[in-house]
Structure 1
Amino acid sequence: MAVPVPGSPDHVVIGGGVVGAATARSLAARGEQVLLVEQHGRGHDHGSSHGATRIFRMGYAEPDYVALTQRAWEAWAALESASGRTLLDRTGAVDHGRPEVVDAIARTLEQAGVPVERLSTDEAATRWPGLAFEGHVLAHATAGRIRSAETIEALLDLAESDGATLRFGVRVTGLDDHGDTVTVHLDDGTAVTTPSVVAAVGSWAPTLVGELLARRGAGLPAIRVTQEQPADFPSHLPDEAWPSFVHYPLDGGDVYGLLTPGEGVKVGFHGIGPVVDPDARDRTPVAAEVERLQAYVARFVPGVDASAPALISCLYDNSPSDDFVMDRRGPITVATGFSGHGFKFAPVLGEMLADLATGGVPHPRFALAGA
């Protein structure tokens, strides 16, 4: 027997990670009736949003991403004001490595009016003794460390205070597309019919809404789900010694890092992990990759103990271009493909998805293929 649901929500947001939480908050703030459902518990570690910290940085070579980071910088300040919480520690950021990459970032930031500072490797090592540098070095102050777990809680609390209903530990078992509405079936027997579903489900998007979108002539790009394994390393230095950092090694690949207070300096290779089923990953570390990460840290992060990694397991949902996927077809809005760099945009993504769910048009870069 179906569990009764009070009223009929204007929107069902599926997914309680940062994107779903931000969307529910944005919709509820507009006076929309919102039901958010999440298959796992509140603050779970099964997806891509868990953990205490994430990087905020404006270091992109693409002007539209830099423009979004500028919007997000202001949106983080507004979210802090609305929630009464500190969510972004303004530590600054440094990029270094392959000259063609760092120089492209510098040009785009300068064109956007973002103040930057170019340094020699020696100057950078003097300023940040916990890091070793190569190639070109670029610093910018409009960057920092997001308190990610606190951010999700702030967004959920704000959504709830504006009238959203939040349900955790309830899994979507099916979606019936009726043309102008969708019925959402949950594993507790609930069936909710709504004119708007926002599937902010990251790695689960292909299985949840891929077929429904295809029936509507929209091609969800191939989303590659990988298990990444960064690690926290004990720091020898005070917390204020650590900026957020991204390294583009001269021999290829990308590496990121930031301090997580009380846990260490998190360092990880970007987007190289094995492909996994998000419902069936075993979180077992790949020993060779752990050794590779330790060797990297021993060389380029001298301010930590490379011999003592605390391993982390997380999911990336990667689009082929590493661009986000955010679009709507009929009553179905989808959000996926955040490719390990979406968290910094969370308050803006929530606004963009709320716009889509209420009839707005997609950002051209993030739109689905097909009519």
Structure 2
Amino acid sequence: MSDALSDRAPTHVVIGGGVVGAATAYALTLRGERVLLVEQHERGHHNGSSHGATRIFRQGYADPEYVALTSRALVLWEALEGAAGEELIVRTGAVDHGRAEVVDAIAAALTEAGIPHETLSPDDAAARWPGIAFEGRVLAHATAGCIRSDRAIEAFLTLAERTGLADLRFDTRVTGLDDHGDDVTVTLSDGSTHCSSSVVAAVGSWAPTLVGDLLAGRGAGLPAIRVTQEQPAHFPSHLPDQAWPSFVHWAADDDVYGLLTPGEGVKVGFHGTGPVVDPDHRDFTPVPAEAERLQAYVARYVPGVDASKPTFISCLYDNSPDEDFVIDRRGPVTVATGFSGHGFKFAPLLGDMIADLATGGAAHPRFSLSKPSPSGTP
């Protein structure tokens, strides 16, 4: 018998147990809402975009709107740390360096937001952080650091469970979505069906195949979500852990990010350069030429690690054409995608924003499905 017929039927079905789905489930339970969260893979899996032990938290955006969102997210991260009783952001600080027009724009946005920061010469920066070779402008801000990402996801899930309002089901696929107008019937691989007036698809790279047609049928197509397989790597560090800030190099070619993962090394990767893939059919194998290019970059710009001993990681990116998030609702369906490369830092705020939508709130104009595409076509 369908759970939807019981007196404990969920008010919301959240599809996706990565950081965005987990944060959404928690945000909904904090509002007293009953939630069923379903995830096609096991708890803590490595098949999507959320896995791994660390992600960067930084406020260094050239866009003032995103800087403001980082400040809102930081307040919620601190609240989550209090609720979970553990440190989730390790304040290592962050450094941006490279192209002057980008670094200067970041400095201007941080100044406008009142966020303390400092500029340094490449030589002064190298003296402070000898593990990194700097070029061009250098900017540091201390509010940044590393998110303990695997622990953060567990915190969202565990706290949602503790409310008694969340039913979490892993290794459970969605096998059908039937749109009835005011509600949607969700059919699951465990044989159950759930009819709900609020279905949240927080599925990242799987959004186009899961809800693309459903949204199009409601006259609201998704933007072209580009799904790629990225291949950052951990490199063994020659230096103590405290020597490493998070860092972004706005290089002449591809932008590069890095951060320490304690016990694994310094993670370094190009931003969004991987091959386009089908998220259900990928090989998890590094592209040899790109692996060599990353090692060459690290040998030149990250002298504090051993560039000859990478441990490659495979993860999915799902990005909209302008790299803005996509968060909107049409009828009973809320979609959340386009977060890769910079979304994790906003997780508790994203959960709040999606919970707002799922309970009748309005979409953020910048992230809505109605926003004109970068080419000017709706």
Which TM-score band applies after superposition, normalised by the shorter structure? Answer: over 0.9
Give the TM-score normalised by structure 1. 0.98
In the other structure, the counterpart of 2:97 is 96
State the Cα distance separating 1:187 from its structure 2 match.
1.2
Unaligned runs of 5+ residues in structure 1 are none
Please state if 1:347 is matched with 2:348: yes
Q: Which secondary structure does the structure 1 equivalent of 2:191 belong to? A: coil
CA distance in 2: counterparts of 1:283 and 1:263, whole angstroms? 19
Could you give the per-residue CA deviations for residues 61-97 of structure 1, whole angstroms, max 9, x where no partner exists? 1111000000111111100001111100011000000
Is contact 1:96-1:134 (8 Å) kept? yes
The separation in 2 between residues aligned to 1:333 and 1:149, in whole angstroms, is: 25
Q: Distance in 2 between matches of 1:359 and 1:369?
A: 17
CA offset digits 1:169-204 (Å, max 9, x no partner): 000011011111110011121110011000000000
Contact 1:116 1:138 in 2 (8 A): yes
Supply the distance in 2 between the matched residues of 1:31 and 1:3 (Cα, whole angstroms).
Answer: 22
Q: Provide the C-alpha distance between the structure 1 equivalents of 2:280 and 2:64, rounded to a whole number of angstroms.
A: 36
CA distance in 2: counterparts of 1:52 and 1:188, whole angstroms? 30
The answer to whether the 8 Å contact 2:3/2:9 transfers is: no
Q: Does 1:109 align with 2:113?
A: no
Tell me, in whole angstroms, the C-alpha distance in 1 between the residues paired with 2:241 and 2:91: 12
Partner of 2:213: 211
Partner of 2:38: helix, strand, or coil? strand
Q: Which residue of 1 aligns with 2:375?
A: none
Is residue 156 of structure 2 the alignment partner of residue 155 of structure 1? yes
Q: Which whole-Å deviations, capped at 9, do the CAs of 1:139-179 have from their partners, x for residues lacking one?
A: 00110000000000000001111121100000001101111
1:97-143 per-position Cα deviation (integer Å, ceiling 9, x unaligned): 00001001110110111111000000000000000000100000110
Aligned to 1:61: 62
Map of 1:22 onto structure 2 = 23
Superposed CA RMSD in Å reads 1.1
Structure 1 residues 1-371: aligned runs within 5 Å: 4=3, 6=6, 7-162=8-163, 163-249=165-251, 251-369=252-370
For the residue of structure 2 that corresponds to 1:247, the secondary structure is strand
Residue by residue over 1:8-38, the C-alpha shift from the partner in whole angstroms, topping out at 9 and shown as x without a partner, is: 2110000000000000000011100100000
Q: Secondary structure at the match of 1:66?
A: helix
CA distance in 1, matches of 2:340, 2:199: 22
Q: Give the match for residue 374 of structure 2.
A: none
Aligned pairs, number? 369
- Counterpart of 2:219 in 1: which secondary structure? coil
User: What CA distance in whole angstroms lies between the structure 2 residues aligned with 1:327 and 1:334?
Assistant: 6
SS for the counterpart of 1:160 is: helix
Residue deviations 1:258-296 (CA, integer Å, cap 9, x gap) = 000000000000000000000000111111101000000
Amino acid at match of 2:170: F
> In structure 1, how many angstroms separate the alpha carbons of the residues matched to 2:175 and 2:337?
19
Work out the CA distance in 2 between the residues paired with 1:339 and 1:159: 24
Conserved? CA contact 1:219–1:369, under 8 Å? no
Letter in 1 for 2:48: G
CA displacement 1:205-239 (0-9 Å, x = unmatched): 00000111111111210001000000000000000
**Offset, 1:4:** 4.8
Deviation at 1:3, TM superposition (A): 6.0
Q: Which amino acid aligns with 2:140?
A: A
> In structure 1, how many angstroms separate the alpha carbons of the residues matched to 2:155 and 2:353?
19
| 1:230–1:266 contact (8 Å) kept in structure 2 | yes
Superposed CA offset, 1:310-333 (max 9, x none)? 000000001100000000001000
Q: Is the 8 A contact 1:323 1:339 kept in 2?
A: no
Q: Is the 8 A contact 2:2 2:194 kept in 1?
A: no
Q: Distance in 1 between matches of 2:299 and 2:225?
A: 33
For 1:174, what is the secondary structure of its paired residue? strand
Please tell me the residue identity of whatever aligns with 2:131: G
SS of 2:71's equivalent in the other structure is helix
Distance 1:219-1:3 versus aligned 2 partners, 3 A rule: closer
- Provide the rounded CA distance (Å) in 1 between the counterparts of 2:156 and 2:23: 6
The 8 Å contact of residues 319 and 339 in structure 1, kept in 2 or not, is answered as no
TM-score normalised by the chain length of structure 2: 0.96
